[in-house]
Chain A
Amino acid sequence: GESVGLHLPTLSVQEGDNSIINCAYSNSASDYFIWYKQESGKGPQFIIDIRSNMDKRQGQRVTVLLNKTVKHLSLQIAATQPGDSAVYFCAENWGTSYGKLTFGQGTILTVHP
């Protein structure tokens, strides 16, 4: 039969717009979260992180929001640029006794000039 790949959520925006990428995480005990950006042909690159004792953290043009009540994480990118086009992954750490991150499936962001 025909094989079916992952159907990643997609977000298309115009250059200059703000982008919001959402992620639902799985473990209420997770204490550390990271957003990664993966461009075509490259490995995932760290964008920004946040610990569970915070609900917001800002970087350069990026902001991460954490809502522990509903286990939701979002990444906001201000003034989106064509170079921001990539797949974005959220990752959670299940606590300091766990060394590994658990990754979401990813969201494809396409920025149109």
Chain B
Amino acid sequence: DAGVIQSPRHEVTEMGQEVTLRCKPISGHDYLFWYRQTMMRGLELLIYFNNNVPIDDSGMPEDRFSAKMPNASFSTLKIQPSEPRDSAVYFCASRLNPESEQFFGPGTRLTVL
């Protein structure tokens, strides 16, 4: 198994631009998670899905952030418009069920200039 796949691995953009991060979870995993990691705030859960349905989006910073999961093998996290304070590493993770381990992707390092 290839594990959780994220793209791009690095993204540099200018303030105001739209950014789309992509994730392919491990096949068969029912749960998908989006995290943000910064030196200031550590690892923060933004949103998670169960069977493609958003369950908890309380960690999404504001309306500029949106996440979708159109099918079991793909999810996107979109920031529009992006701001310099959005610069962080964004991780996607997936999990089979609440009694199993959670696997993280390699992350996308986002820099907003």
Contact = CB atoms under 8 A, between A and B. Distances in A.
Contacts of A99: 31, 48, 50, 55, 95, 97-98
B43 A43 contact: no
A3 B40 contact: yes
Interface stretch (A20-28, A68-76, A89-97): A89-97
Contacts of A97: 98
Interface stretch (B14-22, B66-74, B75-83, B99-107): B99-107
Q: Give the interface SS of chain B, mostly helix, strand, loop or mixed.
A: strand
A105 B39 CA distance: 11
Interface residues of A, number: 27
B99 A100 contact: no
Interface residues of B, number: 26
B40 to A, nearest CB: 5
A42 interface: yes
Contact of A44 (B40, B97, B104): B104
A5 B105 CA distance: 24
Nearest to A32: B99
Interface string A85-113: 00001010101111111010110000000
B42 A6 contact: yes
Interface of B: 4, 31, 33, 39-43, 45, 48, 50, 55-56, 91, 93, 95, 97-99, 101-107
Interface of A: 3-6, 32, 34, 36, 42-46, 49, 51, 89, 91, 93, 95-101, 103, 105-106
